[in-house]
């Protein structure tokens, strides 16, 4: 049987790994799929990491905007992963409180 701390740790680790994977994917695809808040700025890996963190945390869109359908679909997949991990975590806690 899993302890509550184990589930929280695994969920946190899953989210961190997801952030790192998506930030690499975002920085790997064409830079024309995204637009910075200031069009004169050039996007760096830090910008894509920031974008991945804000998507994964559910905060909202940061200084980078997805332009293409590919970028939008990737952001949607990342948001669905966040919702799924939150659902699993909440379900686990409510299941064990009865």
pLDDT in tens, 13-41: 999 999 999 999 999 998 789 988 888 88
SS (H, E, C) 15-80: HHHHHHHHHHHHHHCCHHHEEECCCCCCCCHHHHHHHHHHHHHCCCCCCEEECCHHHHHHHHHHHH
pTM assigned to the model? 0.82
Give the pLDDT band of residue 53 (cuts 50, 70, 90). very high
For the chain, the structural domain boundaries read 4-89
Give the pLDDT band of residue 2 (cuts 50, 70, 90). low
Tokens describing residue 13:
């680790």
Fold (CATH) for 4-89: Helix Hairpins (1.10.287)
């Amino acid at each position: 049987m899993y302890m509550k701390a184990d589930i929280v740790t695994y969920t946190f680790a899953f989210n961190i790994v997801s952030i790192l994977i998506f930030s690499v994917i975002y920085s790997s695809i064409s830079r024309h799929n995204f637009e910075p808040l200031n069009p004169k700025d050039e996007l760096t890996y830090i910008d894509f990491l920031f974008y991945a963190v804000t998507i994964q945390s559910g905060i909202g869109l940061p200084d980078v905007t997805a332009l293409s359908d590919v970028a939008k679909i990737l952001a949607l997949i990342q948001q669905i992963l966040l919702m799924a991990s939150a659902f699993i975590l909440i379900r686990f806690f409510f299941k064990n409180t009865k």
